[in-house]
Structure 1
Amino acid sequence: MAAFKLPKYAATLVMAVFTLYFLTPLWWLFVASGKKDGQVTDGHALLPDKFAIGENLSDLFRYHDGIFLRWMANSIAYTVGAAAIGTLLAGMCGYALAKYVFRGRELLFNIVLGGVLVPATALALPLFLMFSKVSLANTFWAVFLPSLVNPFGVYLGRIYAAASVPDELMEAARIDGSSEVRTFFTLSVRLMAPAFVTIFLFHFVAVWNNFMLPLIMLGNERLFPVTLGLYSWNTQVNQHPELRALVLVGAFVSLAPMVIAFLSLQRFWRSGLGAGSIK
């Protein structure tokens, strides 16, 4: 029986519908962030009406001595640092679990898989108690250090290392006198580049959108990431109605780093880098 094939025009239509479905909320946020005083119910919900996004951006950056810019800088510091270091650690762990045979390897990997299944909210309170014991609660490190852990990244690293780094290539490097560390950084990292990019993006999005951990760990608003900062503004909308517009335009601006990260790193998603490296 011949396999069912979706006509090209039908596939294009399906993709167009889903693209519209995912982009409509972003467009609504853009339009709402340009409305004066956050009156999202005034005029058409999806058409700019008395568009004042420039004025709203100016108000956002000047409000409370520019605290929003401080929140954005905090989020960038938490996210870029944690995602970069966490990606390297996860890739190295996944590589070791895939390419080296040692006692307890499968047990260790199963523990990592168990870590994937544990929700972050369940760990937030124990982490707070631990950091309070060492006087690190309400500090930059209370959010940064837990964000380095990425069990799902270890899983992805192992799967990709097993598939993309040939054992024969590693053996040839050893014969040429290359150390294991040098082989990893000069050879394996290049072959695993798509995996590292994927891990980084997953980690970047997870840390950028992290809310529960900063909520529990931080009390000083100057340490807030942008997610927690906008939440704190949103809880004050009834007392300060002018914050409604700032929350909307702030939410729109906070999407920019993730968009930039995806657009700048998507070119590294290439497969088959190791094809033809061995016969």
Structure 2
Amino acid sequence: MVNRIRPGTVVVLALLFAAAAYFLLPVVWVLIAATKSTADLFGTFGLWSPDPQLGQNLSRLFGTGVFGRWIVNSFLYAGLGALAATLLSTAAGYAMAKYPFTGREALFNLVLAGVLVPPTVLALPTYLIFSEAGMTGTFWSVLLPGIVSPFGVYLARIHANAAIPDALLESARLDGAGEYRIFVSIGLKIMSPALVTIFLFQFISIWNNYFLPLVMLSDQNLYPVTLGLGLWNSQTFRDPAFFELTVTGAAVSALLLVLTMASLQRFWRAGLTAGSVKE
């Protein structure tokens, strides 16, 4: 007996394919464009490369010297910032979930309000604070703001409430374990999927951040790759060769981000499904 496909299923599949094409088309375009010369970028169809020269484009890109530095800077900003944000968010979320104290809900509501504030709104006040401290134009002016993650605190508290039984913590206390040991030995292990999820979201957020480095930095050697590519793009009007560098650099940056996400995919899935099944 042949099962009939329902019209609703066809509509849903069509919408999913349309959404996938919408999001993947720019990625496919930039990957193909990275194989083109400047003349082919403007003289050929966007999804076709008649004379691929990816090797030459990559050679020119990394031959500049500064692009490799920008990539390293981005990994430092995003990696260190996301790691610190993950640890701080996890500790704060765990404390809000498992320790009753006066003003806990008011503090958590303040954290939720921070989730709703766009990062661009905070860029100017952050610049003024770092200017008073004499830290603008330094590596720390981009790294330190990245370790604050209201969304990470929110996610950590929700996960700690759902995944860590209070009875387990009480048993550990009866066995003589201190609060620090309980957090490190029990809390962090149970919350490890949430840690990876927080790290991934914060890593992507810092990597894609453009406005904060633009406000804070003046030394090109400290630029992340997003700001560096923006600089090259602004110079295309005087030298068309920057078109090749910008497009190829964007493709390399996108691939590195995709590879980072793929390497954490199995942990991310675990984080999204943790606590969904009752035992």
Residue identity in the other structure for 1:41: F
Q: 1:171-190 counterparts in 2 under 5 A?
A: 171-190=170-189
Q: What CA deviation, in whole Å up to 9, does each residue of 1:205-243 have, x standing for no partner?
A: 110011111101100100100011110111110011100
Given the two structures, how large is their TM-score scaled by the length of structure 1? 0.91
Instruction: Tell me by how many angstroms 1:40 deviates.
Output: 2.1
Instruction: Tell me by how many angstroms 1:255 deviates.
Output: 1.3
What residue in structure 1 maps to residue 26 of structure 2? 25
Distance in structure 1 (CA, Å) of the matches to 2:176 and 2:274? 26
Instruction: Tell me by how many angstroms 1:13 deviates.
Output: 4.7
What residue in structure 1 maps to residue 132 of structure 2? 133
Distance 1:6 1:265, change over 3 A: farther
**Range 7-16 or range 52-61, more displaced:** 7-16
Q: 1:22-171 counterparts in 2 under 5 A?
A: 22-37=23-38, 39-63=40-64, 66-171=65-170
Q: 1:173-252 counterparts in 2 under 5 A?
A: 173-252=172-251
Distance in structure 2 (CA, Å) of the matches to 1:135 and 1:166? 46
Distance in structure 1 (CA, Å) of the matches to 2:276 and 2:176? 21
Distance in structure 1 (CA, Å) of the matches to 2:212 and 2:274? 38
Contact 1:38 1:248 in 2 (8 A): no
Unaligned runs of 5+ in 2: 1-5
Distance 1:120 1:24, change over 3 A: same
Distance in structure 1 (CA, Å) of the matches to 2:89 and 2:250? 30
Unaligned runs of 5+ in 1: none
- Percent identical among aligned pairs is 45
Distance 1:15 1:128, change over 3 A: same
Distance 1:103 1:62, change over 3 A: same
Distance in structure 2 (CA, Å) of the matches to 1:176 and 1:12? 54
Contact 1:83 1:148 in 2 (8 A): yes
The number of aligned residues is 271
Given the two structures, how large is their TM-score scaled by the length of structure 2? 0.91
Distance 1:204 1:48, change over 3 A: same
Q: What CA deviation, in whole Å up to 9, does each residue of 1:133-192 have, x standing for no partner?
A: 221110000111111110111111111111111111111111222222222222222221
Instruction: Tell me by how many angstroms 1:7 deviates.
Output: 6.5
What residue in structure 2 maps to residue 259 of structure 1? 258
Instruction: Tell me by how many angstroms 1:38 deviates.
Output: 6.3
Contact 2:164 2:190 in 1 (8 A): yes
